[in-house]
Structure formats: C-alpha cells, structure tokens
Structure 1
Amino acid sequence: MGRSRERAVLAGGAVVLLLAAGCAAPSGGGAGASSAPPSSSAPAASSAPSVAPGGARVAGVLTRGLKSPWGLAELPGGDLLVSSRDERTLTRVDARTGRQTPLGVVPGVVPGGEGGLLGVAVRDGWVYAYLTSATDNRIVRMRYGGGAGDRPGAPEPVLTGIPKGFTHDGGRIAFGPDGMLYAGTGETGRTGLAQDKGSLGGKILRMTPEGRPAPGNPFPGSVVYSYGHRNVQGLAWDPAGRLWASEFGQNTWDELNLIRPGRNYGWPVVEGRAGRAGYTDPVAQWPTDQASPSGIAYARGAVWMAALRGARLWRVPLSGAERSGEPQAFLTGEYGRLRTVLATGDGSRLWLVTSETDTRGTPGPGDDEILRLEVG
C-alpha cells in the first residue's frame, strides 16, 4: 500500500515514531492482522511527550474493519455514530473500547458512484442523514433513543429534491451554533446548477430541524445560504460562530472557504482565487493532488481538513483576521485517503476516519479505521 501503519507524533511537521509499548496498535488485531476485527480496545496511555502547540499526535486506532465509512457524529455520552456509504448502514462505536454495534440498514438508500448513505448528525433524540435515493439526494431523520439495544426508527423526510449524480453529491450535514441544520451539496457534474439559485445543487443550505427555510436566510423562502459551489463536503464553525467549508476543485484548486450568507463562491466561472468582483475568494487553496478535501473540524485555534487524494490532514490556523498562518500538513501518506474529521466536545482531540474502501483507495488489512488524535 506504500503507507506506514506506525503510530506517530507530529509537531510543527516533524515526525517522531513512538516506540513505547503503550503506543502499540489496540488489541484485537494490528496492521498485519489477516482479517479486520469488528472492534478493538482503546489504546493504552502513551508515554510520549505532550503535543506541542500546533501539533498533532496519533494516540491509536479506536476501531477497524469499517466498510466505506463516510459520516461521523458524536452521540450524547461521547460514543460515535458512523455511516457506511455503500453498505447503507449505521454503526455505533464505543468511544472508549472501539466496540462496534450495528444499527441496521437505512431504508431507501440507493448507492452508486459518490452517492449512498453520506453525512450524519444527531440532535434532540433524532439521527439526521443525508442520503441518495432512487430519485434524488435528500435529508431524512430517524428517532433514536440511544440506549442499549435501541435501533433508529423509520426515516422521515426533512428535505427532498437535492440533485443527485454519479459524482459531486456533496453530503455533509451539521447543526450550527444557531440550532439550524446546514448541508453541503454538489452540482452533480452539471456545472450550471451551482449558479442557479433556484436549484439545491452546488450550494450550502440552511434550514430548521424540520427542513423549512431558516429565519434570516439571504433568499426569502429558500433554504439556499450560499451558492457557486462545486462539491462541498466539509462544514465547521469556529468559536466566533463563523462557518467554514471545504470544496473540491476540478483540475487546479481545492478550497477552504469562509462562508457568508448570500455570497457567490464562483464555480464554474472561478476556481480558486481570482480577485474578480462579485465572487468570493477562498481563504486557502491547494493543488488537487495535495487535497481533494472532505470533512473538516475546528480545534485548538485551527481548521483541520481531511484530504482524500492528498492522503494527509491539513491544519489551517485561524485568527480574528480569518487566517493567521500557512497551512501545515500532517500524516502525509501514513494512512491513505482521509474522509472525515470530528472534534470531541472539549476540542482537545480529533477522531479521523480513513477512506480506503471507497473504491478509490488501496485497502489493506484492517481498513477502514477511526484514529484517535490529540492536538495542541
């Protein structure tokens, strides 16, 4: 596969291999295991130095053997909920032991290409999911008590009619600090949808938990919040309440954007920074072979961005003036394609989901995984 499975300490871009026994792979099978176990024990406490400011340390693997994992959400109490794009399933993962509890197949999901069971979010006893159906992409919600033996209820539509395609289906959903539900969508390869404010494709959407246009949206009676996007798969907020979004470019530039209501982010007229009136430039951009960004999270003064084709984790330091320093790359080539990153409640750690089993990776024994990262 050409990528290391050794745990590593990263600080300011330097890599120090952890040789202490406490940093070994969790019990239940290591990198050389002949088959991927359904669960694994939490890693032992590391004797490695504390994480330097701006650094990140892989503390271990929480769980292995996930197939086409895509969405990740934290449940009340700290356990994790992960979706499988192609298997159409939800799985609960114990955040301490890594034990997996299958919750079943979500009805109505029709996987294909980049579509399937995508982003998930949890709110007030509901599990929300962005999925591809036979006719569209849509957001549904399911009742979920969260107790031992509980299973999600039948899906109820929240928002339907999001364009679907073999590619560029977007799929990330998240609740903002305002209590509204946000979704990143793609233009499905039909580039004109991104500039069409009457279409839900190539947009960031903002709605109430029931799917109605949120109060204060820039276009009256519409869930459209921003437009001119190619394929948005990452949404995160900083402590100031600012919304950040990652976006796939085509052949030249991938982007991290600071989202303002009603703004036009340029696609397909503009890719990357152009300085053209009427279009909002990204805060950061990367050549597509260094990023292909999916999930993002905010932690410790920075946006952390999972890169698929780039096979690395980017850190973009922030300040009140949008960006305070150059992006730093971590884990380059160490774990392959990286799909989703999620900050814990206190922001001291990140969960990072690999994406080698999505038909575009090179899966090895144990793929895919959820990694536990400590950040400084």
Structure 2
Amino acid sequence: MRNTWAGSVLTMLLAAGLAACSTEPEAAASPETPAGIGPGFGAAEEVARGLDVPWGLTFLPGGDALIAERDTGRLLRLTPGSEPVPVTTVPGVQARGEGGLLGVAVSPAFSQDNVVYAYLTTESDNRIIRFRLDGGDPEVVFDGIAAAGYHNGGRIAFGPDGLLYAGTGDAGDTAGSQNPASPNGKILRLTPDGAPAPGNPTAGSPVYSLGHRNVQGLAWDDDGRLFATEFGQNDLDEVNLIRPGANYGWPEVEGEGDTDNGRYTNPLVTWPVREASPSGIAIAGDTAYVAGLRGERLWTLPLTGDTIGEPTAVLDGQYGRLRTVQIAPDGALWLTTSNTDGRGDIRDGDDRILRFPPR
C-alpha cells in the first residue's frame, strides 16, 4: 500500500552541511598488513573494491550481500569470492549531498516473496520503497520524509518483531525533530506495508521515538533491545538505547544534558564529533560496533545490561571514512568505507568492502 503521511512533507533544504558532517578528515596511509578488530574476528579480507559510495548493506538468507551505491542508485549483489553483480538501478534516485540511495533491508519473508526494501532521496522527499529482486516495478510504502542536502537519515531494518524501522534526519529543520506530526528527526516503526505499526506509542502514528538529529544506525541485541547512532552538531555524537515514545532531546539537548525533569532521555555514550560521526552500528554478542566517518575508526562498545562500558577504537585511520557495519548470516563482520562521498581522502581501491571472518 502507498502511505503518504498528509502534511508531513517539509520544505526541501539545500544548504551546506553543519560542522559534524562537513569537516574534511585528515589523510591516513592505507594499511600495509591485514587489520583486525578484536578476538572474536580474524584479519580483514577485502571482498569488493572500486565501489561508488556504498551506503546500504544487507544480506540474503543464503549469505549473499546486497549493496546500495548512494550516488549511482545501483543495487549490487555480492557473493564472497566473486565480483559484485549489478541487480538493478533504482528509479527516481536524486543524489545530492548526503542524499541518494541509502539503506536497504530484506523482507523477513524473502524466501517466499523475494522482496527488498530501500530508502531513497527523490526530487521531492525521502521515501521507502519495495520491489521484487527478480524484477517488477517498485512500490512506495512510505513517503513524505523531508529531504535536503544533508541530514536525511536513511537506515532501515526489520526488527525481531518483524516490523520495519527507519531512522530519519531533521533535514536541517531542527523544529521537526520535536514535532510529533513530522516524520523527520525520528525513528519510525512500520508494518511491512508501510502503515503505522500496531502498538506504537501513539495509535495511528508511525513515530517510535523522537528528538533525533540524524539517525543512521539501527541494531538489536540478543535481548531485543534497539540501539541507534546519531550525529551531533558541533559537540557530541551519540549512541542511544531506544525506548518506545522516548524523546532524545534534539535540538534542545546535544549529547548528555538537562533532561527537563525526565522529558528527555540521555544517550548511553557520547564522543566529540571529530572522533566519530557515527553511521552504521552492528551488534555481535555483548559487543556493539560503530562505524565512524569523520573519526575514521571503528568503535567497539561492550554492552552491559542497559549500560555501555568503555569504548575502544580500532582500525584508527587505516581505511579512512567508515560508513556501514553489519553482521552476516555466517557471523562475519562486514564493513564499508566511504571515501568517495566527497569528504574523504580517496585511496587506491576505494571504496571497498571488508569482511572480518568469525573465529
């Protein structure tokens, strides 16, 4: 079904990015030896190179990866040990600034329906579509998310409950994050058809949480808890434990601050924006992995109950900007670089996808 959220389309903004997403990273040399990320994984294996801003990454039940290139609008299929194969070019993609073909997710019933979901920027908005991987026209399942040259959000994922979650950005209109009638600056929770999910905090609304600036990472732990990464503006990036109906404070609060007598929820961990600009997040066991763009490193975060232990940085500067991290069906950790996105120091072979096999 097509689900247009009436009154939710905000004015498109094309202004320049803010400090947290515009500062050029320092150049760093490529690694001379394969890099590791911790005792649970082996050394890095390069499984693809020469890609154009690989943004979305997900896996088919058999283990093949689907990769979304932000600027070309291409969806690629990758079997480890083989070259990526173009599957389709998603129609309607308008790549500008941080917008384009962003997150991808596979239907929980893929073995029966062969359906893939994608989050993309168009001429008029950001939207979520779905289509059969074996061909056919795409169907819009949710639209009317304001688009801009920056802060488009874009991560989508199916949760353990079989429902579709989407992280959105404020598109430069900070007031939208606190407006419950706007889908921007939110985490949305939808049925596979794009309707507001039953059991959402407000009946008939797709909003699951609000007060976000730019959510680009969603991941669940073994207990079904949802964690999300969020770009800060000038000071602090965040990892949040997402609770239904919680307000995470933007633009009133950046990082940890005054909760206004419990109105706002503080993050579990923060970093100075120069050390992170966190995009993707993945969880394996009791460890979360957060990919840093401006920080050019992978953060490992020990999860302990509702808290996070001391974060540790790995791959610091070795591959440049890191965009997306995912755990594959075989337990391997996959990581994409993002040096061709207009803000990186391009190295020979960029952009690439790395695989860290499980031990």
Q: TM-score range by the shorter chain?
A: 0.7 to 0.9
Q: Distance in 2 between matches of 1:110 and 1:159?
A: 17
Q: Distance in 1 between matches of 2:235 and 2:318?
A: 24
What are the superposed Cα offsets for residues 202-224 of structure 1, whole Å, 9 maximum, x if unpaired?
A: 00000000001111000110110
5+ unaligned residues in a row in structure 1: which ranges? 12-50, 146-151
What are the superposed Cα offsets for residues 246-302 of structure 1, whole Å, 9 maximum, x if unpaired?
A: 000000000000000000000000000114221000001000000000010001311
Q: Distance in 2 between matches of 1:374 and 1:249?
A: 32
The equivalent of 2:28 in structure 1 is 2
The equivalent of 1:173 in structure 2 is 156
Q: Are 2:99 and 1:138 equivalent residues in the alignment?
A: no
- Which residues in structure 2 correspond to 1:227-266 (within 5 Å)? 227-266=210-249
Structure with the greater relative contact order (CA < 8 A, sep ≥ 6): 1 or 2?
A: 2
The equivalent of 2:351 in structure 1 is 368
Deviation, 1:346, is 4.5
- Which residues in structure 2 correspond to 1:164-203 (within 5 Å)? 164-203=147-186
Q: Are 2:281 and 1:296 equivalent residues in the alignment?
A: yes
Q: Are 2:310 and 1:326 equivalent residues in the alignment?
A: yes
Percent of aligned pairs with the same amino acid: 56
Please give the secondary structure, in 1, of the residue aligned with 2:43. Answer: strand
5+ unaligned residues in a row in structure 2: which ranges? 1-26
Kindly tell me: are residues 298 and 173 of structure 1, through their superposed partners in 2, closer, same or farther at Cα, counting changes over 3 Å?
A: same
* Structure showing greater Rg: 1
Q: Distance in 2 between matches of 1:98 and 1:329?
A: 30
Deviation, 1:320, is 2.0
- Which residues in structure 2 correspond to 1:19-98 (within 5 Å)? 52=39, 56-95=41-80, 97-98=81-82
Q: Are 2:86 and 1:102 equivalent residues in the alignment?
A: yes
The equivalent of 1:310 in structure 2 is 295
Look up the equivalent residue of 1:274 and give its one-letter code.
G
What are the superposed Cα offsets for residues 170-228 of structure 1, whole Å, 9 maximum, x if unpaired?
A: 00000000000000000011100000000000000000000011110001101100000
Please give the secondary structure, in 2, of the residue aligned with 1:193. Answer: helix
The equivalent of 2:3 in structure 1 is none
Q: Distance in 2 between matches of 1:113 and 1:65?
A: 20
Look up the equivalent residue of 1:371 and give its one-letter code.
L
Give the TM-score normalised by structure 1: 0.84
Q: Are 2:320 and 1:336 equivalent residues in the alignment?
A: yes
Look up the equivalent residue of 1:195 and give its one-letter code.
Q
